[in-house]
């Protein structure tokens, strides 16, 4: 779902609190597979696995997003 497709009443409550859970909360017990390594690029990230790799580029915020995902996938779900 894109931001444009989200219903207006689910985006935020009148006082600015989230009406829906953070997307990272839905990761549950997902973890990165052993052997996955990441190189942070100026405007993206490069992920390498056992048999494949992918480079994601798009903006300076992508490495920040990866940092949040990596924290959530670190094994404890990013629990504080």
Is the model's pLDDT at 77 over the cut of 50?
no
Encode pLDDT of 9-67 as tens digits: 444 455 556 566 666 666 666 666 777 888 888 888 898 888 899 898 988 888 888 88
Residue found by looking up tokens 């996938």 in the block: 73
| Confidence (pTM) | 0.50
Question: What pLDDT is stored for residue 19 in this prediction?
Answer: 60
Give 72: exposed, middle or buried? Use CB within 10 Å, 0-12, 13-18, 19+. buried
pLDDT at 24: 61
Give dist(CA 42, CA 62) in Å, integer: 9
pLDDT for the residue numbered 53: 92
Contact 40, 31 (CB under 8 A): no
User: Contact, 53 vs 38, CB < 8 A?
Assistant: no
């Amino acid at each position: 779902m894109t931001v444009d497709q989200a219903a207006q009443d689910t985006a935020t409550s009148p006082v600015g609190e989230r009406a829906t859970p953070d997307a990272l909360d839905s990761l549950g017990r997902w973890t990165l597979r052993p052997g996955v390594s990441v190189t942070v690029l100026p405007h993206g990230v490069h992920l390498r696995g056992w048999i494949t790799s992918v480079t994601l580029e798009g903006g300076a915020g992508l490495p920040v997003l990866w940092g949040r995902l990596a924290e959530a996938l670190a094994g404890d779900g990013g629990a504080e």
